[in-house]
Amino acid sequence: MGYNNAQEWHLQMRKKYGDRYAIFFGQQLSIFLCNEEDIKEVFIRNFSNFSDRGVVDIFRETKLNASLLQNTYADGWKHVRSAIAPIFSTGKMKAMHETMNTKIGTLLEILEEKSESGEKWDIYDDFQGLTLDVIGKCAFAIDSNCQRDRNDVFYVEARNFITNIDLRQNPLIGTSIIIPELMWLWKLLYRFTGLASAELPMVGGLHNVYKRRRGGEGSDSVDLLKLLLDREDDKTNGMTKKEVIENCFAFLLAGYETTSTALTYCAYLLSRYPEVQQRLYEEIEETKRTKHGLDYDSIHQMKYLDAVYKESLRYYPPVIHFISRTCLSDITINDQFYPKGCLVTVQANTVHRNKANWENPDKFDPDRFLESAESNQLKWIPFGIGPRYCVGMRFAEMEFKTTIVKLIEKFELSRIEGEPDLIPDCNGVIMRPKDPVRLSLKLRKVV
């Protein structure tokens, strides 16, 4: 099928075989679901039989096994989630919002400098610098300088790790998926891969940060690591050192590439749909007038912004290969037999582009979300489904909305004549732009 076109291949599979189809990777059966009713039955109503996230065995060799990204029911995912979830309460989000605003301010300064220079540049690169700086400060109280310095060690190590997750850069991962029977060999070879060497300095750095914070550094900070350390001290619902460090690692990986990709897609779409951008700008100005500014509360009350946010993620979901569960025992649901050990997978882009789920699914139309969102619950799945949906969803939403509001408040985005249309490209997990995304940014006149 070719990993270069995995997302298109799955769309074609759905069109050819319907809303349920199956693939064997070696002897591993994977069943793919595309319709709302099947998704509800497996991921919600029968969750107890599908509680373990389906993780490719080769990734069990990484330093993520104690994290919510990979841990199983037996490993205590429920315990870890109950410890982490309160970290993303409204009160904690508001405390992090001010820190986030400072980093977004740096982004706006950089974009203004570049727009005045007349140069063309890839805005995706700027969003990656932003999200790393935000994660560094909000997660670990690290004042990185990724936006201004591409040689910042935090930036270099994160980019190196993400590059090595790409199946085309790391063929061992792709081969292990296609021929899982030789997993003993793939695991033996894993230690010699770029991915294995890329994660060592990152995890080592987190160990050092952990040590410094345990020594009292940054004790007055409100950040993820501080809150996890508080949880570690909780004798009844605490976390181990391994759980703290590996969940910090997971938060870094999950919150960096995905959010920067989502921001890039949204900026691109707003440049292509000026009427949507203008309507959003008018809502921003109206909110400033009636709510006396753009703070956490006023931003989250903006209905059209919320519609743009949701439609951008529906149209271009950054993560398309991660909603997967392992069947824990034989079960038949809606006349479909699921044998023990099979993987059940839902691909976000396939669900989001299914005509049975959405009217005119290939049309970018934020208005579809201005009506009641209740019916969209299992059709809009960029953050996953059921009890194991992304625990950091509210943080990602806050970062996305705040960045887009500040960006559109300051700049008018438009396409550059001659620049190619955006082509999504799947690297195995993340669906990112294939080519640089170059836009024209024009400073708005201050009235």
Q: Which two tokens stand for residue 442?
A: 């024009």
Q: In the chain, helix, strand, coil percent, each to 5?
A: 55, 10, 35
From first to last of the 447 residues of the chain, give the pLDDT tens digit.
443 556 777 778 888 888 899 988 878 899 999 988 999 999 999 999 999 887 766 666 666 665 666 555 666 778 788 878 888 889 989 989 988 999 999 999 999 999 999 889 999 999 999 999 999 888 888 889 999 999 998 899 888 887 777 666 667 777 777 777 777 776 777 777 777 777 878 788 888 888 888 887 777 777 788 877 877 666 556 677 888 888 888 888 888 899 999 999 999 999 999 999 999 999 999 999 998 889 999 999 999 999 999 999 999 999 887 788 999 999 999 999 999 999 999 989 889 999 989 999 999 999 999 986 556 778 999 999 988 888 899 999 999 999 999 999 999 999 999 999 999 988 667 888 999 999 999 999 876
| Claim: this prediction has a pTM higher than 0.75 | yes
Residues 309/397, Cβ–Cβ less than 8 Å = yes
The SS3 of residue 8 is helix
Cα separation, 12 vs 367, in Å, equals 27
| Helix 241-272 × helix 224-233 angle, to 10° | 150
DSSP letter for each residue of 30-87: EEEE-SHHHHHIIIIITGGGS-EE---GGGGGSTTTTSTTT--TTTTHHHHHHHHGGG
H/E stretch holding 100: helix 90-117
Res 437: pLDDT: 97
Residue reference for tokens 């044998």: 339
User: What does the CA dihedral 263, 267, 268, 271 come to, rounded to 10 degrees?
Assistant: 170
> What pLDDT score does 405 carry?
98
Q: What are the chain's domains?
A: 3-441 (1.10.630.10)
DSSP string for 377-446: TTT--TT-SGGGS-TTHHHHHHHHHHHHHHHHHHEEEEEPTTPPPP-EEE-SSBEEESS---EEEEEPPP
Q: How far apart are CA 386 and CA 124, in angstroms?
A: 30
Give the pair of three-digit tokens for residue 433. 């732009």
DSSP helix/strand/coil, 308: helix
Ligand-binding annotation for 390, yes or no, is: yes
